[in-house]
Chains A and B, each alone.
Chain A
Amino acid sequence: MTGGIIRAISYMLMLLGVFFSLASAIGIVRFPDVYTRLHAGTKALTGGALFILAGAALQADSWQSAAKILLIAGFLLATNPVSTHAIARACYRHGIRPEPSHVDHYARTVKKGRSRWTLP
């Protein structure tokens, strides 16, 4: 009885995660700009992957496997925003600008040539 309920919850979580990852892939194809594609490919995909990994951890064979799956989930949660930040920073410093931009505070920081570790 309890096993059936846990299995149903796990499948619902995994289906939700698959929906988020499909939406993220469609957004990557349909969005017009690099920055909007980054937005689609990071937030929705991190959420979808976390849902799928939570469902898999509920359904794992032993607690060691569940702990390993949760370790992978924490690793994804920590590293995916870092890599996305690196890509966005590289695009901006390479010269690609977001097209309808009205306020751009980062341009002053880049132009002044401050150290890359200080906040503006």
Chain B
Amino acid sequence: MIDLILWGLLISAGIAFWRLIVGPSVPDRIVAAGTLSIILTTTLVVLSLVFHSDLFLDVALAFALLAFVDVLIMAKYFEHGELHR
């Protein structure tokens, strides 16, 4: 059962990764990167259920934080062309 959930998450991550590669403009790629980060966070939580380990939860928390700051900085850089405003 949990294999089915992992396969569904993997397929949706693959589709979003296709948009990340192909995407015609820069904000499309930023949207795809945010989507991929959320899908990978949920995948880490499901993997902590599979392996009965709490380590994956810590990694998922840090990854969610880093992905949030990452998307914010990418959007700000796309808006201004520089970072210090």
Min C-beta distance of A48 to chain B, whole Å: 8
Chain B residues whose C-beta falls within 8 Å of the C-beta of A75 in the assembled complex: 61, 64-65
- A residues within 8 A CB of B42? 17, 21, 48-49, 52-53
Q: How far is the CA of A60 from the CA of B22 in the complex (A)?
A: 38
Given contacts A69-B45, A90-B76, contact A34 B38 (CB under 8 A): no
Q: What's the least CB distance linking A26 to chain B, in Å?
A: 6
The reply to whether A18 and B27 contact each other, CB–CB distance below 8 Å, is no
Q: A9 within 8 Å of B by Cβ?
A: no
Chain B interfacial residues counted at CB < 8 A:
44
In the complex, the answer to whether B64 meets A76 with C-beta atoms within 8 Å is yes
Interface of A is mostly: helix
Q: Evaluate contact between A83 and B34: CB separation under 8 angstroms.
A: yes
Q: How many angstroms from the CA of A96 to the CA of B32 in the assembled complex?
A: 17
Contacts of B71 in A (CB 8 A): 83, 86-87
Q: How far is the CA of A68 from the CA of B5 in the complex (A)?
A: 21
Whether the pair A22, B8 counts as a contact (CB closer than 8 A) is yes
| Residue among B12, B65, B78 having the largest count of chain A Cβ atoms under 10 Å | B12
Residue numbers of A with Cβ under 8 A of B are 11, 14-15, 17-19, 21-22, 24-26, 28-29, 34, 37-38, 41, 45-46, 48-49, 52-53, 56, 59-61, 64-65, 68-69, 71-72, 75-76, 79-80, 82-84, 86-87, 89-91, 93-94, 96
User: Can you name 15 A-B pairs with beta carbons within 8 Å?
Assistant: A14-B2, A21-B39, A22-B11, A25-B15, A25-B39, A28-B32, A41-B31, A49-B38, A52-B5, A53-B42, A56-B45, A65-B48, A87-B34, A94-B27, A94-B79
For the complex of A and B, list the 6 residue pairs with the smallest distance between their C-beta atoms, beginning with the closest: A90-B79, A18-B8, A25-B12, A25-B15, A86-B75, A83-B71
